[in-house]
Amino acid sequence: MPRPFSRLPEPLAFIRHFTPSWFAMTMGTGVLALVIAHLPWSMPGLSMLAEGLWFVAVGLFALFSLLFLLRLALFRETIWPMLLHPVQSMFLGAIPMGLAVLIKGLLLFGVPRWGEGIYALAHALWWLDAALALLGALLVPYLMFTRQHHALEKLTAVWLLPIVAPEVAASTAGALAPHLAAEAAQQLLVAGFVLWGLSLSLAFSLITLVLLRLALHKLPDTDFAATSWLPLGPLATGCLGLLSMGQAAPLAFAGTPLVSAAELARDLGLIGGLALWGAGLWWLVIATLFTRHYIRDNMPFNLGWWGFTFPLGVFALATFELQAVTGLSLFAFIGLLLAVQLAAVWTLVFSRTLAGVWHGELFQAPCLGGPGSPAVSVLSEQAG
């Protein structure tokens, strides 16, 4: 076996060339833990497996946060090139999305282990997550409009990443609100609905552009294969957020003048959730067909393959939520199929990522020069 880090482009490349795209690994691992925890059937060892994966995701988030902070502190000259890069800057949205997944896991796994005091921690972390998500949703588009260079033929769904983060935070608000005092829950849900509307409206606009780009310029290169799945993310997260916040609203606003609106939010949440789930189902099928096309072309591995995991995982969570709300066993069966597919994809991507980390070839930021820096592919650029 070759020595570790034998393909590092330079000493300390794992710090200087560290990019936010690594947080997609936290997202994929954390969402797998949540999907396993939400399986409607209990089996021996599943709860321990889910909790173990969540702890892995927490460890990854802590490690990646440290590496990213070290890059900002030790290599300040790399900050501006990263912000101006038309791909790397998009992955700033992966940071709050990874944190939101961990917060939801904290509700599932942290409370039984450490007690109800975890709710206060989760509440504080949620507001931090919402602030980071909102910052990214404003900063990155502003840079796109004023400093970065883009073209329609190079457009991919990676543009969705910074604006979907507020929607992911909103879906977490629905899970947290029932465990808070009434006033805090009301504030949380109001903020959650605002973030949901802000994010989903922009996401639909970008998905429209993605469809236009596909019609005019056909499928991107094989390096862009994982981006075919990204539009599934906001559709699934929109469904999950609408369902969870709608279910939490009547209790939070009970005894207030908004109680009738809260009950309406619950009912419309189900209708809207079903509509968004249907839109997500279409994209799930079309992305699967795209992937089969890419497999025939021998698509190469890189960090962008983590884009296969999170949208699929959130769609599985939305499916299980629909099963819980409607009681229809069909959703449980579909969710189980999605969970099995997610586990298989995660296992493949995780193993290939470990191999890339061992060799050191995944630590390379295109905006800093070096081999492969001119590449236009999302996945090669993610590899930084």
Q: Which residues of 118-128 are buried (b: 16+ CB within 10 A; e: fewer)?
A: bbeebbebbee
Determine the pLDDT at residue 379.
Answer: 35
Q: Are 70 and 82 in contact (CB under 8 A)?
A: no
Mean pLDDT (whole number) for 289-312: 92
Task: List the domain boundaries for the chain.
Answer: 12-363
Which tokens belong to 354? 């470990």
Kindly indicate the confidence band of residue 9, based on its pLDDT and cuts at 50, 70 and 90: confident
Determine the pLDDT at residue 223.
Answer: 80
Interatomic CA distance for residues 332 and 341, integer angstroms: 14
Question: What angle, rounded to 10 degrees, do the helices at 309-326 and 23-37 form?
Answer: 30
Average pLDDT, the chain: 92
Kindly indicate the confidence band of residue 42, based on its pLDDT and cuts at 50, 70 and 90: confident
Q: Which amino acid is at 253?
A: F
Mean pLDDT (whole number) for 246-273: 96
Interatomic CA distance for residues 61 and 73, integer angstroms: 18
User: Mind listing the pLDDT tens digit for each residue in 144-181?
Assistant: 999 999 999 989 999 999 999 999 999 999 999 999 99
What is the CATH code of the structural domain delimited by 12-363? Answer: 1.50.10.150
User: Mind listing the pLDDT tens digit for each residue in 24-37?
Assistant: 999 999 999 999 99
User: Mind listing the pLDDT tens digit for each residue in 108-137?
Assistant: 999 999 999 999 999 999 999 999 999 999
Which position has the token pair 């909102």?
Answer: 134
Is 364's pLDDT higher than 90? no
Q: Are 173 and 189 in contact (CB under 8 A)?
A: yes
Q: Which of 42, 46, 39 is nearest to 332 (CA)?
A: 39
Interatomic CA distance for residues 285 and 261, integer angstroms: 35
pTM: 0.93
